[in-house]
A and B are shown apart, each in its own frame.
Chain A
Amino acid sequence: MIEGIPIYHFLIVSTIMFFVGVCGFIIRRNLITMLMAVELILNSVNINFVVFNRYLYPDQLQGHFFTLFIVGVAATEAAVAIALIINIYRRFKSIEVQNVSEMKF
C-alpha cells in the first residue's frame, strides 16, 4: 500500500497498457514489434496481479507468485518466438508481415 495513491491509478495504467498492447499487435507490421506488444500485455497483467494482491489482499501471496510465473513463461515465449523470427528472416530475408504471408484463404 502506497500512501496517497489509490488503487485506481494503477488499474488505469495497467488497462491502458493492455489496450496499447492489443492495438500494437493489430496495427504494427513488424514481427519483433508484435512480440513487444505481447510483452506489454503480459506486463499489464503483472501490474494487475501485484496491485490487487498488495491493495486488496495484503495477507496472502498468490498474486505475487502468479506474476513471477508469468515473467518466466514470457521469457520462454520470447525465446521461442525470436528463434522462429530468425528462421523467418533466413527464409524470407524480411520480418515484415506483408512479406511473410504466402498462405491466404
Chain B
Amino acid sequence: MTIEQFFLMRHELLLILAAIIVLIAELAVSESGKTKIIPFAAGLFALVTAIGFIPAETGTLFGGSFQTSSLTLFMKNVLNLAVLIIFLQSEGWLKKPENSERISEYFILTIVTLVGMNFMISSGDFLMFYLGLETATIPAAALVAFDRLKSHSAEAGIKLILSSALSSGILLFGLSLIYGATGSIYFADIVAKIEPSPIIILAFIFFVAGMGFKISLVPFHFWTADVYEGAPINVTSYLSVVSKGAAAFTFSIIVFKVFGALFEQWQHLVYALAVMTMTIANLFALRQDNIKRFLAFSSIAQAGFILLGILGANEMGMASVVYFVLVYVFTNLGAFGVATSVFNASGIETISGYKSLYKTNPKLSLLMTVALFSLAGIPPVAGFFGKFFLFTSAASRGYYILVLIAVLNATVSLYYYLRVIKSMFIDQTDEPIAAFRSSISMRISLIMCVSGIFVVGFASGIFEYIREISQLFF
C-alpha cells in the first residue's frame, strides 16, 4: 500500500487530525481563556470542511473493507457541512460558566462520532460497518449526558446508551446469521451468495431492527423523544441531523448494495415501517409543547419519508435520499438554530412560550417560518423538492397507495408546523420574549441555513449532480 492510497481516507484522517489539534490546543490555552477554543475549533472545522470539497481519487483499501466513491465523498461533505453549522450554533451554550471547563471535550467527542459515521458510510464489510456504528454512538451518549448536573441530561444519556447497546446487539445477531449463511462478512462476497432463504430473511429483519433504532423508525423510536428532550439543544440538533442522516445513508447503501437481490422480500417490511413511522410520529407530534420533543417527533416522521426513497431501490431512490438529507440538514438546523438562540436568550423551550415572538424578534420568526414550511414541504422552498423526489421514486415502483398515505401525512404535519407559526405570529401575550441579538457565529450559521434552504431548492444542478454520482454507484 502506498501513501497515495492511504489518502483515500482523506476525510477521516483530517477529522482525526482536527480532534488531536483541538486536544493540544486545550493544553496550550490558559485556564481563564478556555472560550478561545470555540472560534479556533470552529475555524479549524471550517478548514476541514473546505478541504473535503476538493475533488479526490476514489478506490478501495484494506482488501475491500474501506471503499470510497464520489457518492460517499458527497455524503461525507454533507455531514461535515452540518457539523460546521452546529459548531457555529453552539457558541452561546458553550460560553455558559458551567461548561467552561469542558469546551474542548464537546468538540473532540463530536468530531470522533463524525469519524465513526464516515467509516460507517465507507464500509465495505460488516466489521468496519459495526466499528463505525459503535464509534458513532458511544461518544454520542457521553455528549447527550454533557450537562451532567442536570437530571434530564443524565437520564437521556443512560437511555441512549442502553437502547443503542440493545439495538447493536440485535443487529449483530443478524450479522452473525448472515455470516453463517454466506461464509463472509465482505459485502462483495455476500452479494454473490445471497438468496431468499429463511435464515437470510431472519437476518435482514434483525438488521432492520438494529438500524431502525439508529434512524428511529416507529416500533423502535421510544428512546428518541426522551433523549432529544434531555440532551443539550445543540447535541439534540446533532443527533437529529448528523446522526440520523449518516444512519439513513448507511442503511440505504447496505440495503441497495447487499440486500438488493432480495427486494421482493424486503419491500413489504419497509412499506409497513414507512406507513407506521409517518402516521404514528405525526399523531404524537400533534400533542407536544416542548420544542425539542416536537422537533424529535417531526424528525421521526421525516425518517418515514426517507423510507419512501429507499423503496425506490434504484439510482433515483438513492439520489432522492441523499438530496432529502441535504435539504433536511439546512432546514432542521435552521429550526434548531432559532430554538437555540431563543433558549440561550430567555431559557424558553416551549411552543406556548414563543407567543408574540414576531413582535420582538421578527427576523428569527421569519426564519423559523421558512424552516418549518420547508419541513412541511410547502412549494417555494427546498423541502418541497426533497419530498417530491422521494414520492417520485416510490411512485416509479408503483406504490401509489403508499404515496397517497405519505401525502396525507404531509398534510397532517402542516397542522403542527403551523401551530408553532400561529404561536409566533397570531397569539398575543403581555410578556413576550424580549428583543435580543444573536452572536455573530449564530447569525452566520442562520444565514447559511436560509441560503441553503433556497439555493438547494432552486439550483437544479445540485440534484442533477447527485443523480449522476448515484448512477455511478449502481
In this complex, what residue of B is CB-closest to A11?
A: B180
Closest to B225 in A: A105
Q: Which residues of B224-244 have CB atoms within 8 Å of chain A's CB atoms? A: 225-226, 229-230
Taking a contact as CB atoms under 8 Å apart, the answer to whether B148 and A35 are in contact is no
Nearest Cβ distance between residue B137 and chain A, in whole angstroms?
9
Contacts of A56 in B (CB 8 A): 180, 183
Beta-carbon contact of B154 and A88 below 8 Å: yes
Most A C-beta atoms less than 10 A away, residue of B177, B183, B184: B183
Q: Could you say which of A21, A52, A69, A76 contacts B138, with CB atoms under 8 Å apart?
A: A76
Q: A87-B157, A100-B155 are contacts. A77–B127 as well, Cβ < 8 Å?
A: no
| Residues of chain A with a CB closer than 8 A to B141's CB | 80-81, 84
A77 and B134 contact, Cβ closer than 8 Å, known pairs A65-B127, A66-B127, A88-B154: yes
A87 engages B145 (CB within 8 Å): yes
Interface contact B152-A103, CB-CB below 8 Å: yes
In the assembled complex, the Cα of A34 lies from the Cα of B145 at a distance in Å of 19
Give, as a whole number of angstroms, the nearest-CB distance from B43 to chain A. 30
What residues on B are CB-neighbors of A34 within 8 Å? 162
Report how far A57 CA is from B151 CA in the complex, Å: 50
Residues of chain A within 8 A of B225, CB atoms compared: 103, 105
Contact B169 A35 (CB under 8 A): no
B166 at the interface (CB under 8 A from A): yes
Q: How many angstroms from the CA of A81 to the CA of B169 in the assembled complex? A: 15
Whole-angstrom distance between the alpha carbons of A92 and B151 in the complex?
Answer: 7
**With a CB–CB cut-off of 8 A, which chain A residues contact B184?**
62
Contact indicator B284/A45 (Cβ below 8 Å): no
Taking a contact as CB atoms closer than 8 A, the residue among A38, A81, A102, A104 that contacts B151 in the complex is: A102
How far, in whole Å, are A65 and B179 apart by their CA atoms in the complex?
12
Establish whether residues B162 and A87, one from each chain, have CB atoms under 8 Å apart when the complex forms: no
Interface residue B366 (Cβ < 8 Å from any Cβ of A)? no
Give B165-201 as 1s and 0s: 1 = Cβ < 8 Å from A's Cβ atoms: 1100110110111011001110000000000000000
Taking CB atoms and an 8 Å cut-off, the chain A residues in 48-105 that contact chain B are: 48-49, 52-53, 56-57, 60, 62-63, 65-66, 69-70, 73, 76-77, 80-81, 83-85, 87-88, 91-92, 100-105
Residues from chain B with a CB closer than 8 A to the CB of A21 are 169
A8 to B203, CA, bound (A): 17
Q: Bound state CA distance, A70 and B134, in angstroms?
A: 10
A-chain residues with CB within 8 Å of residue B155 when the two chains form the complex? 88, 91, 100-103
- Contact residues on A (Cβ < 8 Å of other chain), bracket: 35 or more
Q: Which residue of chain A is the closest to B185 with respect to CB atoms?
A: A62
Q: Is B434 an interface residue (CB 8 A)?
A: no
Partner of B179 from the list A62, A69, A100 (CB cut-off 8 Å) is A62
- Nearest CB in chain A to that of B140: its residue: A80
State which residues 275-309 of B face A: CB under 8 Å: 284
Complex Cα spacing A84 to B170, Å = 22
Query: In the bound complex, do residue A87 and residue B138 qualify as a contact, i.e. CB atoms below 8 Å apart?
Result: no
Listed residue (A70, A84, A88) with the most chain B CB atoms within 10 angstroms of its CB: A84
- Shortest C-beta distance, B423 to chain A (Å), equals 21
Q: In the complex, A79 Cα to B400 Cα: how many Å?
A: 48
Judged by a CB distance under 8 angstroms, whether B158 is at the interface is yes
Which residues 314-330 of B sit at the A interface, judged by CB distance below 8 A? Answer: none
Q: Mark A1-38, 1 if CB is under 8 A from B, else 0.
A: 00000000000000000100110010000010011001
Q: Which residues of B contact A100 (CB under 8 A)?
A: 155, 158
A80 touching B180 by the CB < 8 A rule?
A: no
Q: Which residue of B lies closest to A35 (CB)?
A: B162
Q: Which listed residue, B173, B177, B284, touches A41 by the CB 8 Å rule?
A: B173
| A49 lies within 8 A of B176 (CB) | yes
Complex-state Cα separation, A25 to B167, whole angstroms = 11
Report A's interface with B, CB cutoff 8 A: 18, 21-22, 25, 31, 34-35, 38, 41-42, 44-45, 48-49, 52-53, 56-57, 60, 62-63, 65-66, 69-70, 73, 76-77, 80-81, 83-85, 87-88, 91-92, 100-105
A-B contact pairs, 15 of them (CB 8 A): A38-B162, A41-B173, A48-B180, A56-B180, A62-B179, A69-B127, A73-B131, A76-B134, A77-B134, A81-B165, A83-B142, A84-B145, A84-B157, A105-B225, A105-B284
